[in-house]
Chains A and B, each alone.
Chain A
Amino acid sequence: MSEKIQFRIRRQDTPYSPAYWQTFQVPFREGLNVVSALMMIRQNPLTTDGMKVDPVAWEFNCMEEVCGACTMLINHRPMPACSTLVDTLQQPITLEPLSKFPVIRDLMVDRSRMFADLKRVRAWIEIDGAWDIHQGAPRISPEHWRDNYLYSRCMSCGSCLEACPQYGQMLPFVGAAALAAVRLMNNHPTGKYHRKQRLHAIMVEGGLSDCGNAQNCVQVCPKEIPLTTAIGELGRETTVQMLKDLFGSAD
Chain B
Amino acid sequence: MKASIHDTHFVFRRLHSLLGLLPVGGFLIFHLWENSQSRFGQTHYNDQVVGWLQQLNYLTLLEIFLIALPLLFHALYGLVILYNGKSNLSVYPWQGNLRYTLQRFSGIAVLLFLLLHVGWTRIWAIWEPAIKADLFAHMQGLLIQPSVFLLYLTGLLVSVFHLTNGLWSMAISWGVTTSPRAQSICLGICAFLAVLLSAMGVHGMLGFLP
Residues of A in contact with B (beta carbons under 8 Å apart): 76-77, 163, 165-166, 168, 171-173, 196-197, 199-201, 203-205, 207-216, 219-220, 226, 228-229, 231-239, 241-242, 245-246
> Which residues from chain A contact B92 at a C-beta distance below 8 Å?
77, 163, 216, 219-220
Cβ–Cβ contact A235 & B173, under 8 A? yes
Answer whether A165 and B88 are a contact pair too, CB < 8 Å, given A209-B173, A219-B94: yes
CB distance from A97 to the nearest CB of B (A): 15
> Which residues from chain A contact B178 at a C-beta distance below 8 Å?
229, 232-233, 235-236
Tell me the bound Cα distance from A239 to B14 in angstroms: 9
B175 partner, pick from A207, A213, A235, beta carbons under 8 A: A235
Answer whether A232 and B179 are a contact pair too, CB < 8 Å, given A205-B9, A216-B96, A239-B174: yes
CB distance from B20 to the nearest CB of A (A): 13
Interface presence of B180 (CB below 8 A): yes
Most buried by B among A200, A219, A232: A232
A77 partner, pick from B91, B169, B175, B177, beta carbons under 8 A: B91
Answer whether A165 and B100 are a contact pair too, CB < 8 Å, given A77-B91, A209-B13, A245-B2: yes
Answer whether A203 and B3 are a contact pair too, CB < 8 Å, given A236-B175, A238-B175: yes
> Which residues from chain A contact B84 at a C-beta distance below 8 Å?
166, 171-173, 210
**Residue of A at shortest CB range from B9?**
A205
Answer whether A213 and B174 are a contact pair too, CB < 8 Å, given A171-B85, A232-B179, A242-B11: no
B85 partner, pick from A163, A166, A197, beta carbons under 8 A: A166
Cβ–Cβ contact B3 & A200, under 8 A? yes
Return the 5 tightest CB-CB contacts between A and B, nearest first: A236-B175, A232-B178, A214-B100, A235-B175, A209-B13
Contact with A along B1-27 (1 / 0, CB 8 A): 111110101110110000000000000
Tell me the bound Cα distance from A215 to B187 in angstroms: 13
**Residue of A at shortest CB range from B17?**
A209
Cβ–Cβ contact A200 & B96, under 8 A? no
> Which residues from chain B contact A245 at a C-beta distance below 8 Å?
2-5
> Which residues from chain B contact A209 at a C-beta distance below 8 Å?
9-10, 13-14, 173
Answer whether A213 and B172 are a contact pair too, CB < 8 Å, given A165-B88, A168-B86: yes
Most buried by B among A214, A216, A219, A234: A214
Cβ–Cβ contact B14 & A237, under 8 A? no
